[in-house]
Amino acid sequence: MGIRLGCIADDFTGATDLANNLVRAGMRVVQLIDVPPDGAQRPVDADAVVIALKSRTAPAAEAVEASLRALAWLRSAGAEQIYFKYCSTFDSTPAGNIGPVTEALMDALGTDFTIATPAFPDNGRTVFKGHLFVGDVLLSASGMRHHPLTPMTDPNLVSVLGAQTTRAVGLIDHTVVGRGADAVRARIDDLRGQGAGIAIADAVSNEDLVRLGAAVQGLPLVTAGSGLAIGLPANWGFTPSDAAARLPPPGGHRAVISGSVSTATNRQVLEFLRAGRPAFSVDPLRIAAGEDVSGQALAFAESHLADGPVLFYSTEAPEAVRTVQSKLGAVEAGELVERTLARVARGLVERGVRQLVVAGGETSGAVVRALGVTGLRIGPQIDPGVPWCAAPLPGGDTLHITLKSGNFGGPAFFTDSFALLDREVS
């Protein structure tokens, strides 16, 4: 038997976030890093496969190409339904990539309708009348307006998605979702009749997501943040379970790599510094000036790893990030920092780190690729959307790793996460 659900995630933290919700809803999930090369064995012994791409901020044509390769792989593994996972803050630019990837997947699947909802109420992301709220404020008033690569300044998702697609975008509003799956299906039929190809779906609670999940049974494609995963596994008879959350005991040194500049990560870095823990600041301007910043970071590691966790961070408040970007360019600064943090991660693992927290989706992509990790087992949840994972390293050891989405996790995440590993896994 093939897999039930085939998932394409546009970044690496997003992929573990989605896998985590599917596991908690009772599915056995395999998470793969990038599309396996041709001929690689299909892991059919899973209910769902999540393929993690680093396509969120790639040029649209590249994001489409990678997503279609992932789709082909998932279909050949027998996936009955495809789930395109993007960020709960709908991170994208007017050029894409949510719209272009959605349309390419629809064309390849031969389907004329899909839904879109980034809602994830457990993390404060709700969609009401098509508008995305982050906590108590509209998306455009949240920290996302300052995002270095995908600043979000319009909270109206019908217009945000409409600007990225050739298909008309409609709305399934909360009054419809509140009436249940049949009402949602009837609204989908109406919208189809009016010529819409995609509908933003409101959801302000987990109950809304469960109703939406039931309503989209049988749609070849769904697109969403990780929240919709709460409501889908029940369509195949899965029920919530914690059986999938067992990992081998952790060993080795502990470290944190943070390239996220999100609001929550800024708070977590400050909290770690305030507690007087060992931390090394990775400064993009010093990298650009040709200093061996990764070498300095690893020298710092050698004298502090025994007292870990040790933090390596480029995290800065929006003003400082803007200053760097004005000097180096946003994309160039991002790549420079990602390359350096990835080198630091490789050096840390060579120096015995086996428990690693990584903050930021782009950063996680760069780090995980540099470490040669090809798959992750999903373990216990630290905070909503963030599980510990176990990854086999190319040398045969196991790395315990968590990929923390920028805006997820409590203020003490960089120490609480290790305490949880001690409690739950050792």
Ligand X SMILES: O=C(O)[C@@H](O)C(=O)COP(=O)(O)O
Ligand Y SMILES: Nc1ncnc2c1ncn2[C@@H]1O[C@H](COP(=O)(O)OP(=O)(O)O)[C@@H](O)[C@H]1O
Exactly one of 155, 361, 380, 387 binds ligand X (CB under 6 A); that residue is 361
Residue 324 contact among ligand Y, ligand X, none, beta carbon within 5 to 8 Å by kind: ligand Y
Site stretch for ligand Y (CB under 6 A), options 32-40, 103-111, 118-126, 317-325: 317-325
197/187 Cα distance (integer angstroms): 12
Give which of ligand Y, ligand X, none residue 258 binds (C-beta under 5 to 8 Å, depending on kind): none
338 binds, among ligand X, ligand Y, none (CB under 5 to 8 A by kind): ligand Y
User: Exactly one of 6, 7, 11, 261 binds ligand X (CB under 6 A); which one?
Assistant: 11
Pairing mode of beta strands 196-201, 114-117: parallel
Site for ligand X (CB under 6 A): how many residues?
16
CB 263 within 8 A of CB 143: yes
What SS3 class is residue 345? helix
334 binds ligand X (CB under 6 A): no
CA–CA gap between residue 235 and residue 362 (Å, rounded): 32
Q: Which of 27, 48, 188, 261 binds ligand Y (CB under 6 A)?
A: 261
Q: What is the per-residue binding string for ligand X in 220-259, x denoting contact by CB under 6 A?
A: -----xx---------------------------------
User: Rule CB under 6 A: which of 352-371 touch ligand Y?
Assistant: 360-363
What does 321 interact with, of ligand X, ligand Y, none (CB < 5 to 8 A by kind)?
A: ligand Y
152, interface contact from ligand Y, ligand X, none, CB < 5-8 Å by kind: none
Query: What does the block give as tokens for 296?
Result: 């300095």
* Nearest one of 359, 362, 377, 372 to 255, comparing CA atoms: 359
Q: Does 360 bind ligand X (CB under 6 A)?
A: yes
Residue type, 16: T
DSSP state for residue 154 in the 8-state scheme: -
Q: Which of 6, 96, 121, 284 binds ligand Y (CB under 6 A)?
A: 284
- Judged by CB under 6 A, the chain residues 82 through 141 that form the site for ligand X are 87-89
- Tell me the residue nearest to ligand X as measured from the CB: 361
**Contact between 148 and ligand X per CB under 6 A:** no
- SS3 of residue 416 by DSSP: helix
Q: Choosing among ligand X, ligand Y, none, which partner's interface includes residue 87 (Cβ < 5 to 8 Å by kind)?
A: ligand X
The one-letter amino acid code at 64 reads V
- Contacts of ligand Y in 203-232 (CB under 6 A): none
The one of ligand Y, ligand X, none whose footprint includes residue 314, by CB under 5 to 8 A per kind, is: ligand Y
Pick from ligand Y, ligand X, none: which does 14 bind, CB < 5 to 8 A by kind?
Answer: ligand X
Q: How far is Cα 402 from Cα 378, in angstroms, rounded to an integer?
A: 9
Q: Which residues contact 290 (CB under 8 A, 6 or more apart)?
A: none
**Position 334 contacts ligand Y (CB under 6 A):** yes
What does the per-residue mask of binding to ligand X show for 394-413, with x meaning CB under 6 A? -----------xxx------
Backbone Cα Rg of the chain: 21
Binding letters toward ligand X, positions 363-392, x by CB under 6 A: ----------------------x-------
Taking alpha carbons only, the member of 212, 213, 196, 15 closest to residue 113 is 196
Give the Å distances, CA to CA, from 116 to 17, 33, 197, 227: 17, 24, 11, 11
For the chain, the first-to-last Cα distance in angstroms comes to 34
Task: Pick what 284 binds: ligand X, ligand Y, none; C-beta below 5 to 8 Å, kind-dependent.
Answer: ligand Y
Place of tokens 């995963």: 229
Specify the long-range contacts of residues 289-298, CB closer than 8 Å, at least 24 apart: 293/340, 294/340, 294/343, 294/344, 294/347, 297/340, 297/344, 297/347, 298/344, 298/347, 298/348, 298/351
Cβ neighbours of residue 271 closer than 8 Å, sequence gap 6 or more? 411, 412, 414
Residues engaged in binding ligand Y (CB under 6 A): 148-149, 259-262, 265, 284, 314, 316, 321, 324-325, 333-334, 337-338, 360-363, 406
Residues engaged in binding ligand X (CB under 6 A): 11, 13-14, 17, 87-89, 225-226, 262, 360-361, 385, 405-407
